[in-house]
Structure 1
Amino acid sequence: MESPGRLPYRRLMIYLDRLGYLLGLEGVALLRAFREDGSDRAFVEARIAEIRRLLDTPALAEAGGVTAEPGAVSMAEVYAAWAPHYDAGGNQMIDSEQPVVRSILDGLPVGVALDAACGTGRHTAYLAELGHQVIGIDRSPDMLAHARARLPGASLLEADLHRLPLPDDAVDTVVCALALVHVPDLARALAEFARVLRPGGHLVISDPHLLSAYLAPRKERTSADGRPALVADHHRPLSDYLAAALPLGFQVRRCAEPRRPALPLVAGTRPPESLPPHGAWDIMYWCPEAANAAMENTPVAVVWHFQLS
């Protein structure tokens, strides 16, 4: 949906700059220091001194940035590249949300379960282990290929969250993990979940947290015609999920915000010889203490458990 006075989403351009991002981390670290206990004068003075050093670093000042267009590369293209490596481990978002999602699933009655946007089938496989009759759907044929290798014989369908290939009242549980961030119309997707759920059915959602989106470096990609591009994502405040779910008859059973542990960054670590690409996590090695202070114990994901009344 367009905002008054703004260009359509596809025409917005975003300027990504390494120095700007690092200064943003320093600012967040300082704001947290002013609000929270445990940050003394030495920490604040160290941040101010580091900001001056970053501003005076020729490599950062001369590198410049890149202007990228949101939505000029599709999630289908991104997942095609991710699919071979998605299950390799080391994804902090998955490591944070998966134990919470599974703790909810462990307490649900066994029945027919839909893993919506199942990806490579990590939650699909767990639901099957719990005894559910499982259906998985995803838009990415590349991700589904890995899910089929993991779960031969499972019912895995290529479909869109806005148009689930299921009849009304078909399932007892719906799981949708780390996918609604890619969906522009949240209410429409949740309406589809409500349609296929039986009365009293359960909906378990996880999504990247809005605060995590603000703090993480944003990775630019290359569009089909060679231009810098960004994925069109839709990070939302928690109230948006409630605004979409409650009118459909969903009742909140649980909401969790798993936190990010300390980053594996060591104060005093020398930055790499060359600048990392825009959006790479390695950029944080230019200010590891500030990065840890800005990000540690911040919500990395949100997990919702709804029940259909």
Structure 2
Amino acid sequence: MSYEHPLAYLIGIEGAALLRAFTGEHDREFVEARLTEIRALLADGELAEGVEVTQLAPRDGYARWAAAYDSGENAAFADEPHLTKILDTIPPGRALDAACGTGRLTRLLVERGHHVIAVDGSAEMLSHAKADSTLVADLHELPVADGSQDLVLCGLALSHVPDLVPVIAEFARVLAPGGHLVLSDVHPEQVQRGSIPSVRTIDGAPARVRTYHHRVGDYLRAFFAAGLAPVSCQEPKPAHTEPRQVPGGGPWDLWPWSLNGLVPEVLAAAAKDVPSMLIWHCRKTAA
């Protein structure tokens, strides 16, 4: 169980902006405006109530989300143009879409002529995927033979595993020498700022899919340990959008995005040049 308080989030964003001011990015006027804004936030009675939030295992969280996963807007799907550019450089072959979800990336593989095995831990998510073969399985134990895949693709999943090392090692195990590993995920900077999937429990209580903060160095150490050589690392920034203006910060289901609209100036300062995604392309070194 975690505790999410709207005021705590807003003060955190204010603090991020003030730290950037402390290192020279903003002037005295900006700092004094932030301090005045913080005092006003502390006095705002509409921000006085926090919410107890259940932490769900990924399998349970995505089972709850499966029916609506492909509807509406999901900023994390902005990884697709970047993944497409990488996939266009890889010839068709045997491909594994690991943690495929509803198959949004499986489609990219099929369109490029790959023979695709789609794997996910949630049967509910997997029921929406279309591939040559679909299997319910955990990322720690992929149900394919050693060296049997030319490409492993994994999108928006590794922030849900507590330790990257065994999962990256499993990806390397199933790759043929010279095979490609292509990954995308929410950038760790965004995870720290609350970019974590929200769902509701069966009884309607607020819940988040359990998410971990993996730094760029954590990925690199896992790659090197598994015999994978990085080809490229991209950290694209989010497209500029005005934060949503919701009176009082809106209901919990819209947090933290709706809270951002209460402090648009400080959000712009705190979020300036912060990447939205982390995208990797690696190759397995020859045996």
Which range moves more in the overlay, 158-167 or 271-280? Answer: 271-280
Where do 1:1-309 residues align within 5 Å? 14-35=2-23, 37=25, 39-61=26-48, 63=49, 65-68=50-53, 70=55, 73-95=56-78, 97-148=79-130, 154-216=132-194, 229-265=207-243, 271-272=246-247, 275-277=250-252, 279-309=255-285
Measure the CA separation in 2 of the matches of 1:214 and 1:41.
27
Aligned identity (percent) is 45
Measure the CA separation in 2 of the matches of 1:192 and 1:285.
42
Change (3 A) 1:221 1:241: same
What is the TM-score of this pair, normalised by structure 2?
0.89
Q: By how many angstroms is 1:174 displaced?
A: 0.4
Change (3 A) 1:198 1:101: same
Q: By how many angstroms is 1:131 displaced?
A: 1.2
Secondary structure of the 2:270 match is helix
Partner letter of residue 48 of structure 1? L
What is the TM-score of this pair, normalised by structure 1?
0.83
Measure the CA separation in 2 of the matches of 1:185 and 1:104.
25
Measure the CA separation in 1 of the matches of 2:195 and 2:172.
35
Structure 1 alignment gaps of length 5 or more: 1-12
Measure the CA separation in 2 of the matches of 1:81 and 1:132.
30
Q: By how many angstroms is 1:274 displaced?
A: 6.9
Q: By how many angstroms is 1:202 displaced?
A: 0.6
Measure the CA separation in 1 of the matches of 2:11 and 2:195.
12
Q: By how many angstroms is 1:248 displaced?
A: 1.7
Change (3 A) 1:122 1:59: same
Q: By how many angstroms is 1:273 displaced?
A: 5.0
Q: By how many angstroms is 1:244 displaced?
A: 1.3
Measure the CA separation in 2 of the matches of 1:18 and 1:277.
9
Partner letter of residue 276 of structure 1? P
Deviations 1:201-242 (A, max 9, x none): 010111222111111266776656887654322221111111
Change (3 A) 1:221 1:122: closer
Which range moves more in the overlay, 295-304 or 247-256? Answer: 295-304
Measure the CA separation in 2 of the matches of 1:210 and 1:306.
19
Q: By how many angstroms is 1:89 displaced?
A: 4.8
Aligned residues: 284
Deviations 1:29-52 (A, max 9, x none): 222234364x44433332121111
Aligned residues: CA RMSD: 2.4
Partner letter of residue 145 of structure 1? S
Q: By how many angstroms is 1:14 displaced?
A: 3.4
Measure the CA separation in 1 of the matches of 2:148 and 2:194.
38
Measure the CA separation in 2 of the matches of 1:69 and 1:78.
10
